[in-house]
Amino acid sequence: MMPFRVSAQTAWLTLADPLPLESGQVLPDVRVAFRTWGRLSAQGDNAVIVCHALTGSADADAWWSELFGAGKVLDPERDFIVCSNVLGGCYGTSGPTSLAPDGQRWGARFPDVTIRDQVRLQMRLADHLGIRSIRFVIGGSMGGLAALEWALMDAERVQAVVSIAASGRHSAWCMAWSEAQRLALQADPRFHRGQYLPSEPPVRGLAAARAAAMISYRSPVSLEGRFGRASAQEVFAEQTRAPDDLAVRDWLRHHGQALASRFDANSYLALLNAMDSHDLGRWRGVYENVLKRITQPVLIGSVISDALYVPAEQRTLAFLLPRGELFEIDSEHGHDGFLIDAAAFEPRVRRFVQRLPAAAPPLPMDVSRNAGRLRYAW
């Protein structure tokens, strides 16, 4: 089963061994879609791991383009940058749209996965690529949750972490927004408890879920400033399908329909569940004590208008981490400021990265290791 959208630069790795999950289940024939930029150093110590958000993909240079470039946070001339689609996603990595051992789509049968399961797969990819040391792991939103898990799960390799618009554990507020989206999606008559036909997906339910999410991703100031009570004709001109309707309603419908055309409903639910599983203290001990075990430098980014991962969470996280640093993103765009205002906060993250130890020079050519265990499809 082909993924929804995969760039031509995507590579695939099929694991030689099954992937054990936190649930106790073992997932066979796991495939991960990934992108790389730059070259690995002779010592394998110049790697940077980028973790994407809920509906993102491995194409980090598209959705975080402002962080890429010579001398910037993500510099392919200096670093070997890796971004992979997460486990449970639908952009090339194993998930509900993949084929199960019986030859049918997994669909709703796909096992429950957690953020830790997703990081474990990313670690396997890093192993296969020959990465011995990771200069830093960076991510925003769901990617920020994974970045923090990397610090605990691969403490020997990970030298530093940048986590933006995220938290150390999913709050009741975040889980409530997740549930509202689930209810909206599952109310679609086509959902059929996740056993829908690929030709008849629950697009209305997924669009409604996305519309609810978009409200949590922005702020009252952002929506009022952009739309107010203006009509769709006034704001979007000929691009609108409902010129006489209010622009903000047209905007929500557009984003809902756009996601429904490019994402799978079961994958959406799988990733919401993974995010709700996030708790750095789960099975490890008292949350505050577990944070003390993260001894790497950690830069915590907080969007001052974020109504989803509220700034108080990042302030507390930075305070409890032994080497935590907090920076604020002065954005009116709410949670999505971690994407919309990336150009504005790139210099702050760059200063943090520049303080990290330098890696060895890159190899003269790209490395393809473990040829017998990797299956690439460029």
User: Position 203: which residue type?
Assistant: V
375 domain-assigned: no
Same domain as 92, residue 192: no
Assess whether 265 and 282 both reside in one domain: no
Whether the model clears a pTM of 0.85, i.e. scores above it, the answer is yes
Is residue 365 one of the residues assigned to a domain? no
Write down the pLDDT at residue 372: 29
Do 31 and 161 lie in one domain? The reply is: yes
Q: Report DSSP letters for 165-193, one per residue.
A: S--SB--HHHHHHHHHHHHHHHTSTT-GG
Q: Are residues 26 and 156 in the same domain?
A: yes
Please confirm, yes or no, whether 141 is among the known catalytic residues.
yes
- Under a CB-based contact definition with an 8 Å cutoff, are residues 185 and 265 in contact? yes
CA–CA separation, 69 and 113 (whole Å): 33
- Rounded to an integer, what distance in angstroms lies between the CA atom of residue 89 and that of residue 32? 10
DSSP letter at 237 equals G
Domain boundary among 248, 271, 294: 271
What is the 8-class DSSP label of residue 107? G
CATH number of the domain to which 180 belongs: 1.10.1740.110
In-domain check, residue 361: no
Supply the pLDDT for residue 364.
58
With respect to residue 362, please indicate whether it lies within any of the assigned structural domains: no
Decide if 79 contacts 135 (C-beta within 8 A): yes
How many of the other CB atoms lie within 10 Å of CB of 234? 14
Q: Identify the active-site residue in 59, 264, 306, 336.
A: 306
My answer on whether 248 and 159 are in the same domain is no
Indicate if 319 and 211 belong to the same structural domain: no
Q: Are 38 and 81 a contacting pair, CB within 8 Å?
A: yes
- In this structure, the answer to whether residues 136 and 282 fall within a common structural domain is yes
The Cα–Cα gap between 95 and 274 comes to 12
Assigned domain for 69 exists: yes
Write out the two tokens for 156: 């020997």
Residue 266 in any domain: the answer is yes
Same domain, residue pair 205 and 336: no
335 catalytic per annotation: yes
* pLDDT averaged over 10-residue windows placed end to end, the chain, 378 residues: 73 97 97 98 97 98 98 97 98 97 97 98 98 98 98 98 98 98 98 96 98 98 96 87 89 96 97 98 98 98 98 98 98 98 98 89 50 30
What integer pLDDT is reported at residue 185 of this predicted model? 98
- The active-site residue, picked from 141, 167, 216, 331, is 141
Q: Could you tell me if 196 and 53 lie in one domain? A: no
- What Å distances lie between residue 134 and 79, 130, 150, 198, CA to CA? 10, 11, 10, 39
Residue 371 resides in a domain: no
Is the domain of 106 the same as that of 43? yes
Shared-domain flag, residues 57 and 150: yes
Give me the residues paired with residue 324 across strands.
298
The phi and psi torsions of 350 (rounded to 5 degrees) equal -60, -40
- Confidence (pLDDT) at 5: 72
pLDDT at 358: 81
- Count of alpha carbons within 13 Å of 355, Cβ hemisphere only? 12
Using alpha carbons, select from 135, 124, 156 the residue that is nearest to residue 370: 124
Domain count, the chain: 2
The answer to whether position 369 is within a domain reads no
Residue type, position 85, single letter: N
Neighbours of 322 (CB within 10 A): 12
CATH number for the domain harbouring residue 97:
3.40.50.1820
- 309 shares a domain with 266: no
Residue in 128, 278, 333, 335 annotated catalytic: 335
- Asked which of 239, 271, 303 is the last residue of a domain, the reply is 271
Structural domain including 295 reads 11-170+277-354
